[in-house]
Amino acid sequence: MGLVARHVEAAGIPTLCMSSALDITRSVNPPRAAFLDFPLGHTTGKPNQPELQRRILVDALSSLETMTAPGSVRSIPYRWSDDEGWKERAFAEGDNRLPRHDTPQYQDEADRRRAEAGGAPACPVCRS
């Protein structure tokens, strides 16, 4: 997220990253970020609440007018619930990621051949 945002900013386009993971956001150091303390996957608000989602987006985008220091993170002041119990429940579900492998993993043999052949088309945005 931060690397892409910095590249886009270098081209003169302002960026704003929205995040629900403050520690990760700070570690990738995007030019500007709006942090919403909601569960992962709900960075723009609760499902089926378009008015809340709109307020969150408008508040986040207003950060473009005030955030000038590189790496600034603004907390957007909305609450997922009246208590913080949702955090304990979210973490109680555990980490179900699989262990990392030292070698690349492919979906199928054709995927492996394409990856090893390289020769990806040039990126139309960055022209590389």
Confidence of residue 122 (pLDDT cuts 50, 70, 90): low
Question: How confident is the model at residue 95, as a pLDDT?
Answer: 66
Quick check: 61 and 74 in contact, CB under 8 A? no
Q: What is the pTM of this model?
A: 0.67
Among all chains, which residue has been given the structure tokens 């990621």? 97
The span from the CA of 59 to the CA of 53, in Å, is: 10
pLDDT tens-place string over residues 53-111: 999 999 999 999 999 888 899 999 999 988 888 888 777 666 666 777 888 888 889 88
Extents of the domains making up the chain: 2-91
pLDDT tens-place string over residues 11-36: 999 999 999 999 999 998 999 999 99
Return the C-alpha torsion angle 9, 15, 19, 25, nearest 10: 20
Question: How confident is the model at residue 126, as a pLDDT?
Answer: 59
